[in-house]
Structure 1
Amino acid sequence: MEAGKINGEAYDVRISKKKPIYPVTSGLRKYLRTYQRDARMPISYADLMEFYETSPVIDKNGKDTLWETPLYPPHVQENLYNGLKILYAKLKASGNTRIVEHKYIDRVEYCAFGNSHPFRIRIVNRLNDVYDYFYVKQADASRIYGLELEQIISPNPVNYIVDGQTLVEEHIVGIPGDVFTQSLINNPDYNPKRIAKEFVKFNERCMITLLGDMRAYNFVVQITPDFDDFQFRIRAIDFDQQFYEGNPKIYMPQFFKDNLAYVQLCMEHLTATTVLQYQQEERSSIVHRVRSERHRIAALRDVSNTEELSTAVHVKQLREGYADFYRNEHYFGCRTMTDIIEMNVKNVIRQVKS
């Protein structure tokens, strides 16, 4: 694993244009109903957009967080906040509103920076001040496919619901990857080999599922104390760049300059043999999960293959790039991004069997 280089030349992956929002089609809605991802919501994303102005959210160090606090008329805010509590109940307890009887909406924040322009909601239990977050976003079809692939192929469960063009997502707990590199990656209590191992596995998952733009601020690091050490898990939190771009390096976190600290850790503490071992471990886990969820992934494939989720130019560029990377001419027969993922999975199955 070499940081930021291809064929010995420096390389820093960049995304030049913003990805368009793809609508949720009738075929995808049918899939979501089948797998209990749809829900009737009392308010929508469009309702939350009815603010008259915003004020910037500043962190404790006086820096602009790029989030804003939307301001609503009092009567509008009351209806929205009541609706948000019901949304939380649907997300967490299949609509059982007893779980929000003692909760209140403490804060609503809006971000115009991301593709999906999310709202971040903080909900607090008034009995003990314990709080939680969840998100309301524009329902982008490619993002939903990314969430589904994360659920099926990764070891990480995701929780979300969709109604029309509104997407509600559970907060994924963890330390942002960029924050982890700034203050924790060199913690003497942490085993650097375990962090490096997890980055190798994370890199492998992104390559196979075509999850792009995994710069450090788009994933979190989860730390779990074990009886004799700390365990680490890297989890994606942003699925906006799911199988859209044509550059293969977009789907390889190792080629982003923001992730240099993780790549250096791999280079310092892992050998080529151990990197291959961890890649094979992750491939074996993926094969097991694909076999366990074969009906669901087949249904996801069938519906996504009928939709336009990228451009013909990007598909052509990516299939050629993956054909070269894997030395496999079968990629030239791929017509869609879904076909490329399916070819990736078939490759993994063959590698595990051999």
Structure 2
Amino acid sequence: MSEPLMVLKKPSYPLIKPLLSYLERYERISKVSIFYDDLLRFAGSINLYDKNGEDTLWTRVYYGEFDREEIDLNLKKIYSLLHSDGNNDIIQYLNVDAIDFCTFGNSKPFRVKVRNILNDNYVHFYIKKADASRIYGLELEDILSPDKINFLVFGNTLIEEHIVGIPGDIFMETLLHTSTETEKSQIAKEFVKFNERCMIRLLGDMRSYNYVIVPIHDFDQVVYRIRAIDFDQQCYEGNFKVYRPQFFKENYPMIELIKEKLEDRSVIQYKDEERAILAKRIHSAETRITKLLNIMCHDTISTVENLNQLKMELYRYTNDMKFKNAKSMGHIMFATFEFITRNFKNTNLI
């Protein structure tokens, strides 16, 4: 049996002042004064089960009357900040239907369900303890991925919007085998691109339950996208394989699909396409990325052992001395982005 790629639980890293200043500059600071610890004051809870009677690892929490009134109001204000630029006129039409708590994973999030009472539409968002690695991951996702993501920070609290989609593990168990052959080819292509994107931006731990499959109906076909939903493992692990979803056993069905549906030259083509797209995004957002990585260079978001392991593995993978000389995870990210953009500048693609 192969050794697990990840063994130890990742610690949480505090947000340093330059990072908070960056977040304020780009309007990521919440104007609503609610803390993660406020939600821990629940008076009771019950376990939540799915339609098959399986434990979801979430519990629905309840608050005393006084706490609930204050918490509900602040959660409605957060909804307004996330979805309508803080317009409090809509608060009267909102209802907090549920607050759920999960003790599984590093972030131990609260999941909040807010419903518009006029039309019964609802959205979810999450409240977690802020962690510097996750913040860098969210920012890089917003800048470099095909999809935007909305989040806010208040002190040591992170507010994250819900990312809609079918969890990868559930999709593989229930829907992959019923997909058409054309759809399977398209899913295989998307996983190659997703794998490349995660590797380049060093987003780790993309096991099947940490990303979602998003089906999009387009004329007479369904087009699939793959989106990360967990950003806890941004630039932390020392093992380079952790940043390549292909090496997780949970993604084995996807790897088999790629072997079945794609020729080697197609895989290479899709990798090159994704690198070219990323190089263009890095180039177009150069100022913002430089500000973010300069902060990361002076921040601690991993251990010395992990840093030394990762930089040497990347050096052996690329033969680029900038990896070998990196003094922080921020320097590794700089070297990665320079390596990508330099290669595509040489081919006149950016």
- TM bracket, shorter-chain basis: over 0.9
Q: Distance in 2 between matches of 1:161 and 1:242?
A: 18
- What displacement does 1:12 show? 5.7
Show the counterpart of 1:285.
277
1:126 pairs, out of 103, 117, 124, with 117
2:312 pairs, out of 313, 320, 324, with 320
Q: Deviations over 1:301-336 (max 9, x none)?
A: 111111111011000100111112224343211111
Show the counterpart of 2:73.
82
- What displacement does 1:187 show? 2.3
- What displacement does 1:151 show? 1.0
1:183 pairs, out of 168, 174, 180, with 174
- What displacement does 1:105 show? 0.4
Is the Cα–Cα contact under 8 Å of residues 42 and 87 in structure 1 kept in the other structure?
A: no
1:345 pairs, out of 319, 334, 337, with 337
Summarize the alignment of residues 153-192 of structure 1 with structure 2, pairs less than 5 Å apart.
153-189=144-180, 191-192=183-184
Q: Deviations over 1:225-253 (max 9, x none)?
A: 11232211100000011110100000000
- What displacement does 1:127 show? 1.9
Q: Distance in 2 between matches of 1:155 and 1:197?
A: 15
> 1:331–1:201: structure 2 CA closer, same or farther, 3 Å change rule?
same
- What displacement does 1:11 show? 4.5
Is the Cα–Cα contact under 8 Å of residues 21 and 140 in structure 1 kept in the other structure?
A: yes
Runs (4+) of structure 1 exceeding 6 A deviation are none
Q: Which amino acid aligns with 1:31?
A: Y
- Larger displacement relative to structure 2 (44-53 or 137-146): 44-53
Q: Deviations over 1:107-146 (max 9, x none)?
A: 0000111211110001111122211101111111110000
Show the counterpart of 2:187.
195
2:300 pairs, out of 308, 312, 318, with 308
Is the Cα–Cα contact under 8 Å of residues 142 and 242 in structure 1 kept in the other structure?
A: yes
**Aligned-residue identity in percent:** 43
Is the Cα–Cα contact under 8 Å of residues 11 and 255 in structure 1 kept in the other structure?
A: no
Show the counterpart of 1:205.
197
Does structure 1 residue 248 correspond to structure 2 residue 251?
Answer: no
Q: Distance in 1 between matches of 2:68 and 2:295?
A: 38
Q: Distance in 1 between matches of 2:254 and 2:90?
A: 40
Q: Distance in 2 between matches of 1:21 and 1:269?
A: 40
- What displacement does 1:76 show? 1.0
Show the counterpart of 1:150.
141
- Larger displacement relative to structure 2 (341-350 or 164-173): 341-350
Is the Cα–Cα contact under 8 Å of residues 201 and 279 in structure 1 kept in the other structure?
A: yes
Q: Which amino acid aligns with 1:204?
A: E
- What displacement does 1:271 show? 1.3
- What displacement does 1:340 show? 1.4
- What displacement does 1:350 show? 2.8
Q: Residue 187 of structure 2: SS of its match in structure 1?
A: helix
- What displacement does 1:13 show? 4.1
Is the Cα–Cα contact under 8 Å of residues 80 and 90 in structure 2 kept in the other structure?
A: yes
Q: Residue 170 of structure 2: SS of its match in structure 1?
A: helix
Show the counterpart of 1:268.
260
Q: Distance in 2 between matches of 1:53 and 1:197?
A: 46
Question: Greater relative contact order: 1 or 2 (C-alpha under 8 angstroms, separation 6 or more)?
Answer: 1
- Larger displacement relative to structure 2 (52-61 or 153-162): 52-61
- What displacement does 1:82 show? 1.3
TM-score w.r.t. the length of structure 2 is 0.95
Unaligned segments of structure 2, at least 5 residues: none
RMSD: 1.4
Show the counterpart of 1:235.
227
Q: Which amino acid aligns with 1:20?
A: P
Show the counterpart of 1:19.
10
Q: Residue 134 of structure 1: SS of its match in structure 2?
A: strand
Is the Cα–Cα contact under 8 Å of residues 146 and 239 in structure 1 kept in the other structure?
A: yes
